[in-house]
């Protein structure tokens, strides 16, 4: 009896990898309150986009901003998990790594807020 796993087709390998990625997103949104807050903000921004009937280019800018923030949040979470694994007790370098990763999420969020303001503030002002 062989202990070697059966060889997968390329398509089956892609499906398995996709499943791991989906599991990663599930872990992100189940375990991280800030990721859930970003998800709520995403829903609100999308609703506002439909309400104000933004252009395709504006949708592209918002999609990029949403993707940037989501990616930063996921990488921050991954780094925090890894730092906790390799340094279960407090270590100043682990703390710095976590702070820098959190700063990256903050920077992405500020950029997304600026993009949102550029798109929505003129529409809101015109409606008033």
Q: What is the pTM of this model?
A: 0.84
d(CA 21, CA 82): 17
CA distance 124 to 74: 32
The band of 9, judged by pLDDT with boundaries at 50, 70 and 90, is confident
Q: Residue 6 has what pLDDT?
A: 64
Task: Return d(Cα 13, Cα 83) in angstroms, integer.
Answer: 29
Q: Which residues contact 2 (CB under 8 A, 6 or more apart)?
A: none
Q: Confidence band (pLDDT; 50, 70, 90) for 13?
A: confident
Catalytic residues, by residue number, are 73
Those residues whose C-beta lies under 8 Å from the C-beta of residue 98, and which sit 6 or more positions away, are: 79, 80, 83
Q: Which fold has domain 34-127?
A: Helix Hairpins (1.10.287)
């Amino acid at each position: 009896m062989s202990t070697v796993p059966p060889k997968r087709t390329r398509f089956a390998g892609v499906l398995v990898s996709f499943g791991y990625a989906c599991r990663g997103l599930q872990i992100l949104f189940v375990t991280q309150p800030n990721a859930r807050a970003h998800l709520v903000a995403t829903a609100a921004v999308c609703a506002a986009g439909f309400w104000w009937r933004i252009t395709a280019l504006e949708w592209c800018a918002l999609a990029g901003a949403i993707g940037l923030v989501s990616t930063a949040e996921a990488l921050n979470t991954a780094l925090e998990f890894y730092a906790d694994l390799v340094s279960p007790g407090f270590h100043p370098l682990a703390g710095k790594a976590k702070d820098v990763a959190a700063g990256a999420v903050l920077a992405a969020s500020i950029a997304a807020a600026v993009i949102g303001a550029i798109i929505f503030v003129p529409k809101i002002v015109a409606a008033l």
